[in-house]
Chain A
Amino acid sequence: MEFNAIYVIVAREFKKFIREKSRLFSAIARPLLWLFIVGAGISRLVPRDTGVPYIQFIFPGIIGMTILFSSIFSSISIIWDKEFGFMKEILVAPVSRLSIVIGKALSGTIVSTIQALIILALFPFVGFKLNLLQIISIVCLCISVSFCISAFGIVLATFYESYESFSVIMNFIIMPMFFLSGAMYPIRLLPDILSFVAKLNPLTYGIDAIKHVIFPNEKGLMGPDFSIMIDITIVIVLSITFVLIAGKLFEKKK
């Protein structure tokens, strides 16, 4: 592994992230809309006696959504790099494919964790009281879930050559991953087939783990669905798997 290369790939992404203020604003605006507008609307439909107010219930899911969108957007910038040629500059360098993938995954992790933390900072407005330990745990979870989803995004990006495929990725991958992740409604309410798909979704486990931290005593419908050990194990195992798959896919020559 080449640490210089990993460092500079991350530094480039971070520099561009800081430079494009509009990207940050729109990335923050989306979860805010879902939390305070969609959330406020739907909470009127949800019975009050479920144990957790609806707007609090979706808070882990909204953090997950922030991670999902920003990680995948960051990773599929690889498609831009391919289309505008910059990818070639990276590919002809004496750098292993694994380092490139790790560099890209860490880029997504940093950018995405920053955005998730901005959303997390809103917790007092949703009526939570979180202690320091809970906050630190959520930060750690955000980092690992961001890494996992970023690595997934890289695998995705290796299959596409041009940015025209963006709307396909948006409509057929990102949106279903969001809706089938337990973010907006508990997955145990879903029909069997959809709940099966949700169980294949890495984001489901990330959001579930955050629910464990935020509602440690909630055992009912609105609480977590899996044990926290399962959640964390699955996120870590999938992260490693995605990185290795992406590395192999990058290696492949025509």
Chain B
Amino acid sequence: MPIITVENLVKKFERITAVNNVSFEVEEGTIFGFLGPNGAGKTTTINILCTLLSPTSGRLFVAGYDCIKEPANVRKAIGIVFQDTTLDKDLTAYENLIFHAYLYNVPKNEMRDRINEILRFVGLYDRKDDLVKKFSGGMKRRLEVARGLIHKPKVLFLDEPTLGLDPQSRTNLWEFISELPGRHNVTIFMTTHYMEEAEVCDKIVIIDHGRIIAMGSPDELKRTVGGDVVYIKTTDNTNARKEIERLFGFDVAEKDGELYMACAMGDTCIPEMIRTMGEKVLSVRLQRPTLNDVFLKLTGKTIRDENASENDSVKEHVRAYRRRR
């Protein structure tokens, strides 16, 4: 049974339809990616799943509970890391976590151990008595993820967890997130608009203008844009080209001393080519489509081309202002 089920979700804000008839399922123990440009309806969907907003219509279930009828049970079963920091900067890391543990009724005799363990896991144990306002962006994010895990939720929502982080912290955070389902027995529901970050997902849903436009594993989605391109260099390109065209039926072209051809499943056809041509092969490389190519094909624009709306630039402004404080 899926841990999250969304059926025909619609959310309207006055005249604007933010989410338009969206349905999907998330399997337990997986990393699920909810992708789309700014304003596509990702955060709205998360807020409805977290019971912060009520839907205009549709049905939603998280961990077996109805988000509309049993919000209290849903809240117990989930942890959330919002797009903007929701830490109290005037409290220490430890105090932020204690606050959370009390709110979620973590048994008192387990609190201290759980908090210390999770602080070690996110690498902040040495800083636990420092005020959060002294933390870097990456540390705050890790602390928020830690906080979201203290009450052992079944699902952890991460809304744009890497927003505003430098590339190194982003890589670290993703390594850390990809370990979570195995180590903490939790399902991850995340949004991002950095397509390359979605590679860690087991399943992806892409939405644009409030509608689902694609769904599948990263590999499946990439295959929809026409598969891989194989580049091959041989001792005798002219003969090799004829041979490949005759044996495999590919359209082969040559560029800069390399033969190249589109083929649906590059990873399986490379070994075959090498088997037939033997030692004549000097080098082989495979170029795979990226999730950005997928998005480009589906929407005619890359995900980050989107002009930031006025609202977003205001948000950015506020964020920058807060970071300076």
Interface of A, helix, strand, loop or mixed by DSSP: helix
A12 contacts B by Cβ under 8 Å: yes
Do A92 and B51 form a contact, CB below 8 Å, given A4-B103, A12-B99?
Answer: yes
Do A93 and B84 form a contact, CB below 8 Å, given A4-B103, A84-B89?
Answer: no
7 shortest A-B CB distances, which residue pairs? A8-B102, A85-B86, A94-B75, A93-B103, A89-B86, A94-B76, A4-B102
B100 contacts A by Cβ under 8 Å: yes
Using a CB–CB distance below 8 Å, which chain A residues touch chain B? 2, 4-5, 7-8, 12, 15-16, 19-20, 84-96, 253-254
Chain B residues whose C-beta falls within 8 Å of the C-beta of A87 in the assembled complex: 86
Contact partner, B75, options A4, A7, A88, A92, Cβ 8 Å: A92
Contact partner, B53, options A86, A90, A253, Cβ 8 Å: A253
B54 contacts A by Cβ under 8 Å: yes
B277 contacts A by Cβ under 8 Å: no
Contact partner, A92, options B52, B54, B99, Cβ 8 Å: B52
- Are B75 and A254 in contact, with the CB atoms below 8 A? no
Chain A residues whose C-beta falls within 8 Å of the C-beta of B13 in the assembled complex: 254
8 A Cβ contacts from B92-113 to A: 95, 98-100, 102-105
How far apart sit A89 and B98, CA to CA, in the bound complex (Å)?
13
B50 contacts A by Cβ under 8 Å: yes
Q: Which residue of B lies closest to A8 (CB)?
A: B102
Chain B residues whose C-beta falls within 8 Å of the C-beta of A5 in the assembled complex: 102-103
Number of interface residues of B (CB under 8 A): 31
Do A2 and B105 form a contact, CB below 8 Å, given A8-B99, A16-B90, A16-B91?
Answer: yes
Do A93 and B75 form a contact, CB below 8 Å, given A7-B102, A86-B86?
Answer: yes
- 17 A-B pairs within 8 Å (CB atoms) are namely A4-B105, A5-B102, A7-B102, A8-B99, A12-B91, A12-B99, A85-B84, A85-B87, A86-B87, A89-B100, A91-B52, A93-B75, A93-B103, A94-B72, A253-B54, A254-B13, A254-B53
Chain A residues whose C-beta falls within 8 Å of the C-beta of B105 in the assembled complex: 2, 4, 94
Do A95 and B103 form a contact, CB below 8 Å, given A84-B89, A85-B82?
Answer: yes
Using a CB–CB distance below 8 Å, which chain B residues touch chain A? 13, 50-54, 72-73, 75-76, 78, 80, 82, 84-91, 95, 98-100, 102-105, 147, 322
Chain B residues whose C-beta falls within 8 Å of the C-beta of A15 in the assembled complex: 91, 95
Least Cβ–Cβ distance between B71 and chain A, in angstroms: 8
Question: Which one of A4, A93, A95, A253 has the highest number of Cβ atoms from chain B below 10 Å of its Cβ?
Answer: A93
A-B contact sample (12 more), CB < 8 A, given A16-B91, A85-B86: A2-B105, A5-B103, A8-B102, A85-B82, A88-B52, A89-B86, A90-B103, A92-B50, A94-B76, A94-B103, A96-B72, A253-B53
How far apart sit A165 and B239, CA to CA, in the bound complex (Å)?
78
How far apart sit A19 and B91, CA to CA, in the bound complex (Å)?
10
Do A85 and B91 form a contact, CB below 8 Å, given A8-B102, A93-B104, A94-B75?
Answer: no
- Are B76 and A92 in contact, with the CB atoms below 8 A? no
- Are B91 and A8 in contact, with the CB atoms below 8 A? no
Do A94 and B104 form a contact, CB below 8 Å, given A16-B91, A85-B85?
Answer: yes
Least Cβ–Cβ distance between A90 and chain B, in angstroms: 7
